[in-house]
Amino acid sequence: MTTPTANIAVVGLAVMGSNLARNLASREGNVVAVYNRTTAKTDALLEAHPEAGFVKAATVQELADSLVKPRTAIIMVKAGRATDAVIDELVSVFEPGDIIVDGGNALFTDTIRREKAVRETGINFVGAGISGGEEGALKGPSIMPGGSVEAWETLGPILRSIAAVAEGEPCVTHVGTDGAGHFVKMIHNGIEYADMQLIAEAYDLIRQGTGKSPAEIADIVAEWNSGDLDSYLIEITAEVLRQVDAATGQPLVDVILDSAGAKGTGAWTVQTALDLGVPVSGIAEAVFARSLSSDREARAAARDLPGPDQTWKVDDEAAFVEDVRRALYASKIIAYSQGFDEIIAGAKEYGWDISKGEIAKIWRGGCIIRARFLNRITEAYETDPGLVSLATAPYFREALAGAQDSWRRVVAGAAMSGIPAPAFAASLAYYDGLRAERLPASLVQGQRDFFGAHTYKRVDREGTFHTLWSGDRTEIEAEDTH
Ligand code: 2AM
């Protein structure tokens, strides 16, 4: 048996795994062992990157033998059955105290299950969300690891060495135990859906409201990038809008089929939010907007449904564009506020101690939603760790106050002229619902009591009540069994 020399292993050498392995190898102090089910892929990586000094493992036993203790391996395979298969293999050759990391896009409940099962062997299991795509994996992703504190002690320095750096700080933190990392990665993706949809709606409104070309809108969006909206997604939006299709000479955005795909993490965010009872309406509308865009059959059938006669009459283009910018910013604040609400609810449900300020910090670099305003979120949670709703933090309250007239004009104008702006509209409706002194939920509760004797509470005294709707309609004090 050879003397172990590697301090970290990567299992699964498709693009993400290969890039992560190369990133690890490029950092001082790391010796990286690599293993892939099909050895040809391992050989190809070694041949293409001799500079990385990879230690090749042809079997999992060789991989285990190549690693110094505690052995640490990062699994980068397609989430699902492959993950379970690779975990089983590693468990069979690892020892108590060793660390298995799943760097794939696992559903957090799977991670909770796997962590529990692996822990029984004495081996540590860490689910780590990794954001930033292929380029992030190679140059520096944002990393969201869960798992035990013990595992983090070994893993922390390694992950810090490869993470993106934002304002001098590595974009990685121990998010919480077991599935906390994959949970937060899921929320990241949900917010990403909302952010993208909101930008797309802003583009559409400007285009339909002013008739500007995609290239002209690219200039506007690029300018937005020097203000509050400064972010990776705004930056790439300008690039996409500016792109001309080589085959037709048309703006590329006009020749791309208007049906958006999804890999499921946005849907997970919304499904989980429904289970937790957290209204993430901005994120939900973004997921649904992709579904609607992809339902070509229904869209074809609905093509002749009537719309308004009126088209948008924009008198002052510059003022309108500024309205849209403000509406976008306000809606974006709501999407993040809702996403953080879900983190708070998830942490409570699953017993995680998650620092919201730290999460906003590690999203500043490497990941898709990296943005300047994440610093404001960190400040908000550092000032008030018990902050109930991000939207109510002084900075965001002021931003929303400054944007609300624009926001209302844009949503109303979109409705009057028949332009769908579901994420803008849902975010504004949420904002008004959140701040309302009285909601019509009292009527809903009355209806529930009428047909299902679900009972209600009163504003003026303690207790639980039921009205005898089918009797003399007197009110009785009811036992709260619902
Ligand atoms: P392969 O090259 O042998 O197919 C992305 O699909 C990565 O996951 C690839 O490295 C692939 O290995 C690996 N993978 C998929 N299913 C697997 C399994 N059941 N066991 C081990 N690796 C698997």
Residue 185: active-site member = yes
Q: What are 157-193's pLDDT values in tens digits?
A: 999 999 999 999 999 999 999 999 999 999 999 999 9
Average pLDDT over residues 437-459: 98
**pLDDT the model gives residue 79:** 93
Average pLDDT over residues 13-34: 97
**pLDDT the model gives residue 480:** 59
CA of 317 to the centre of ligand 1 (A): 53
Please tell me if the CB atom of residue 468 comes closer than 6 angstroms to any atom of ligand 1: no
- pLDDT at residue 274 above 80? yes
Q: What are 224-263's pLDDT values in tens digits?
A: 999 999 999 999 999 999 999 999 999 999 999 999 999 9
Q: What are 55-87's pLDDT values in tens digits?
A: 999 999 999 999 999 999 999 999 999 999 999
Cα–Cα distance for residue pair 374/390, rounded to 1 Å:
12
Please tell me if the CB atom of residue 13 comes closer than 6 angstroms to any atom of ligand 1: yes
Catalytic choice (51, 56, 95, 185): 185
**DSSP codes joined into one string, 301-356:** HTTTS---SPPP--S-HHHHHHHHHHHHHHHHHHHHHHHHHHHHHHHHHHT----H
Cα–Cα distance for residue pair 32/23, rounded to 1 Å:
10
**pLDDT the model gives residue 2:** 72
CA of 77 to the centre of ligand 1 (A): 6
CA of 90 to the centre of ligand 1 (A): 14
Please tell me if the CB atom of residue 78 comes closer than 6 angstroms to any atom of ligand 1: yes
Cα–Cα distance for residue pair 197/62, rounded to 1 Å:
47
For 278, residues 6+ apart whose C-beta sits below 8 A from its C-beta are: 338, 341, 342, 345
Residue of 78, 89, 91, 105 with the most ligand 1 atoms within 8 Å of its CB, for mutation? 78
Please tell me if the CB atom of residue 37 comes closer than 6 angstroms to any atom of ligand 1: yes
- Please state, for a pLDDT cut of 90, what percent of the chain lies above it: 97
Binned at pLDDT 50, 70 and 90, residue 210 comes out as very high
Nearest CA to ligand 1 atom 15: 82
Cα–Cα distance for residue pair 124/87, rounded to 1 Å:
11
Nearest CA to ligand 1 atom 11: 12
Which single residue is written with the structure tokens 């999804």? 262
**pLDDT the model gives residue 1:** 62
Q: What are 297-327's pLDDT values in tens digits?
A: 999 999 999 999 878 889 999 999 999 999 9
Residue 95: active-site member = no
Q: What are 327-346's pLDDT values in tens digits?
A: 999 999 999 999 999 999 99
Cα–Cα distance for residue pair 145/151, rounded to 1 Å:
10
